[in-house]
Structure 1
Amino acid sequence: MPGRAFSPKLPFILTRVLFYAALVVPRVNIRRLLFVPILLLCIFIALYTTVDNTYGDFVKGMSLGTTLFGASDYLLLCSDVQEDIRFEGQKEGMHSKPLMERMVWALRMCMNLRGVGTNIEPTRHLPPRPSRTESRKTYILKQLAWLALYAPLWYMVVEFNRWNPRFTEEPSSLGVPRDGFPWWWRVTIWGTMFDIYFSMSTINSVCSILSVGLKISKPHEWPAMFASPLEAYTLRRYWGQMWHQTYRRFLPAHTNYAASALRLPPKSKITTYFKLFLSFFLSGFIHFLGDYMYTEALFGGAINYFVLNACAITLEDMVIALGKRAGLRESWRWRLVGYVWVLFIFTILLPGWHDARLTILSRLHSVKAA
């Protein structure tokens, strides 16, 4: 990209090494000092590096956001991460443990964004874990079977998204401007969601096979990346149950800190919805970093999209509360209504974000062609 002369590989590796080292060192003040170079490296990567691939830059930008907020959580917000977070069976904190034990613990922490198997595991938000009695061989065979399903489906979705003339970066192959397509073409935006679903599921299966096969972890420490789509009969359940929960640890950590700093009354509705909107804003900011990495444009498509989801959840909560007051009870019929509602919201909101991004990319292509 113009103005970006550096590869992000080395500085990105340095951010991960510094984060890992900060989790290993026993002194809290050193951990907090190490956040500064992590932050500076993230800024450098966002402003001055590129992988010369739009999708690669987007993923790299989102990885930056995840690293930055994860580091902020563990290194700044935690009073002492080595004492606060413990894995199953760990009776003492890591502060006074030998270097090798702290290194293994830090590695497990870096590989475990959802906090599975720790005292901070968000159990009710995660899919069921594999049985503790399941053998490594059985687990690996099951994951290989899932891979045989995920991989070809991921390939087909990627090819569909590449072909889709409504959401392509290039001028439409059908000779129709993007805003000239019939409304029902908006439904094809779901191809991007399926891309995320199958890609993250594939990566999760591969990582679990390697980790379990090498005896780094046990089968029951690897729940699926996503819950069943049948769980998504409300928008709140879609984001809080069905979708991946890789932000489940650090987003609440930051929203809880902000609510406490503002002295909002705990467990009040104003605090609940303050945290809801701030969580979606921060998630939007992480995706904004991805957008910025490959468009170099300061546009708020991602932030608008996620904040509007928070607005829709607020409306949804109000309607459900009114329904309960009217004596309505949950049933399969209302769940069907919920599925339609969730599909409707994403079909309406998601194209707005993608259209804004694609308009910028189309201009970039035009400039390069000129």
Structure 2
Amino acid sequence: MLERFINTLYPLIEERSPLPVLYIPGAFMVLVFGYAIGPDPIRTTTISLLLVLFALRRPCYTVGNTAQDYGLSGWFIVFVLLFLDFSATNPRWVGRRDESSSRKDNESITRRDPETWPQRLAWALRLATTLRGIGWDWEVKSVPRHLEADFSRLKFVGKRMLDLALHTLVKLISLYIIGFCGAIQQDAPSSSPWMGWLLRVVENWCGAIWSWNTVGVGYVAISAIAVLLGMSEPWEWPPILNSVATATSVRRTWSVAYHQILRRTVQQPGIRLARLLGFKKGSIPSRYIQLYLAFYISFCIHWWQQYVITRGDKGEFAFFMMQPLVITLEDSVQWVWRNAINPKRKQDLLWFEIAVGYAWTFTAFAFTLTPFVKGMVATGIIGGSPEDAIAMLLGQRHGAKYLQYWH
């Protein structure tokens, strides 16, 4: 019903106008300017309304590519949330805090410290271009260990180019498998229900692998360009993704293994709400308010991205709101287990906990990914770029040949 009302405010998908060239840069510069001028009731309200206007007008436009429309549209909501968050704080640039480094940056530079407008804008631009707080006093948790921090610029860029090639290769392989499974899945339910289920599990996990490596591709490319052009240094670009080995639970998959690009964006509203309601830090109510609100905000961002290209939900609500439910169940089982076993046997049973954790994580995502991956494939977000489409088409052709061979 809400979607029907919202739909009356926007043109039909096929009637959208081309996205103005300065639309995205304009919204970003409003964010930077808002950081630079500092918090004030009138200023904060004005900048917030401008950013909200940019976000609300986004469904009226298209860049002509479904995948790009999806990927770019969510940032306008992120800009609003980031600005509101930092308007209530005073972020500080502290530079590299690694004591083993010979580099010594200026410490504790706040918005008020730069004396000229160019300096203040430079400070604001640096704040707006980091989403994990690397070099700031608000660095998010679980940033992966940075083994390339002391590389020379050329060595860093060379390593990132190798990473780019690897991420691209794995991404294309996953798309090929999705195409292959999609082709033979049409026949699987009639021949074997179990085969249909197995194909769906493979397709779901290939969708997750595609997402993992798509994030990796974008990040390593941007980091290599920024370092090569001298805009930043290698230590400012720790890995965006952690080791898969850290994904021993659904909670840890989201909080440790997967990227932290939106970590502060989705966490801060829950933290502030819990404080407003008077719940102590670390208490159960505070913990689960943050958990559920974080996934709800993540759902809203992804729903808006999908709305821009389809005018509706394509599995976002089912996927993102199942995650906190799964994590709540997971936490309950872990609590029972910790209180049931003898503390003296904890170390001996560690291998068992890890094995069960991996199995549980695999199974949980195998099922909960279904609506999300189906929607992403159906709308062309997965397989939307030319090279991705070729990989999927090749998989579909080989899947069709496979069916012909067995029939």
Specify if TM > 0.5.
yes
| Whole-Å separation in 2 of the counterparts to 1:54 and 1:20 | 28
The 8 Å contact of residues 25 and 31 in structure 1, kept in 2 or not, is answered as: no
Q: Which of residues 336, 342, 357 is equivalent to 2:361? A: 342
Deviation digits for residues 158-192 of structure 1, max 9, x if unmatched? 344455427xxxxx9946789x8711122111122
Q: Which runs of 5+ in 2 are unaligned?
A: 1-12, 96-105, 381-407
Percent identity of paired positions between Structure 1 and Structure 2: 22
Correspondence for 1:71: 83
The equivalent of 2:19 in structure 1 is: 7
Distance 1:96 1:37 in 2: 26
Of stretches 31-40 and 4-13 in structure 1, the one that deviates more from structure 2 is 4-13
Indicate if the aligned counterparts of 1:61 and 1:287 stay in contact, CA closer than 8 A: no
Question: What is the distance in 1 between the residues matched to 2:376 and 2:162?
Answer: 36
- The AA in structure 2 aligned to 1:245 is Q
SS in 2 for 1:129: coil
Name stretches of at least 5 consecutive residues in structure 1 with no aligned partner: 167-171, 362-370
8 Å contact kept, 1:284–1:304: no
Relative to 1, partners in 2 of residues 1:318 and 1:63: Cα closer, same or farther, differing over 3 Å? same
Whole-Å separation in 2 of the counterparts to 1:317 and 1:256: 19
Query: RMSD of the alignment, in Å?
Result: 2.7
Question: Which residue does the alignment assign to 1:158?
Answer: 175
Relative to structure 1, is the Cα distance of residues 92 and 317 closer, same or farther in structure 2, using a 3 angstrom cutoff? Answer: same
Take 1:202 and 1:40, find their aligned partners in 2: how far apart are those partners?
A: 31
2:154 pairs with 1:141? no
Q: Of residues 68, 74, 78 in structure 2, which corresponds to 1:62?
A: 74
Contact in 2 for aligned 1:130/1:219 (Cα 8 Å): no
Q: Is 2:261 the counterpart of 1:246?
A: yes
SS in 2 for 1:43: helix
Q: State whether structure 2 residue 384 is matched by structure 1 residue 353.
A: no
Structure 1 segment 1-370 matched on structure 2, within 5 A: 1-7=13-19, 9-26=21-38, 28-29=40-41, 30-46=43-59, 48-75=60-87, 78-79=88-89, 83-88=90-95, 89-97=106-114, 98-122=116-140, 124-130=141-147, 132-162=149-179, 164-165=181-182, 174=186, 182-187=196-201, 188-297=203-312, 299=313, 301-327=315-341, 329=346, 331-355=350-374
Task: Output one character per residue of 1:101-152: Cα deviation in whole Å (capped at 9) or x when no partner.
Answer: 2222222222211111211012x41101235533323322222222232222
**Displacement after TM superposition at 1:9 (Å):** 4.4
What is the alpha-carbon distance in structure 2 between the residues aligned to residue 349 and residue 336 of structure 1?
A: 20
Residues 245 and 293 from structure 1, CA distance in 2 versus in 1: closer, same or farther, beyond 3 angstroms?
same
* Bigger Cα Rg: 2
**Residues 64, 214 of structure 1: alpha-carbon distance in 2 compared, 3 angstrom cutoff:** same
Single out whichever of 151-160 and 351-360 deviates more from structure 2. 351-360
| CA distance, structure 2, for counterparts of residue 239 and residue 360 of structure 1 | 25
Q: In terms of mean alpha carbon deviation, does 146-155 or 302-311 score higher? A: 146-155
Amino acid at match of 1:23: Y
Q: Classify 1:9/1:293 alpha carbon distance in 2 versus 1 (closer, same or farther; 3 Å).
A: farther
Question: Are the equivalent residues in 2 in contact too, given 1:280–1:306 (CA < 8 A)?
Answer: yes
Q: Using a 3 Å threshold, how does the CA distance of structure 1 residues 131 and 194 change in structure 2: closer, same or farther?
A: closer
Give the 3 Å change call, closer, same or farther, for CA 173–240 of structure 1 in structure 2. Answer: closer
Deviation by residue 1:75-95 (Cα, 9 ceiling, x = unmatched) = 3xx24xxx3332324234222
How high is the TM-score relative to the length of structure 2? 0.77
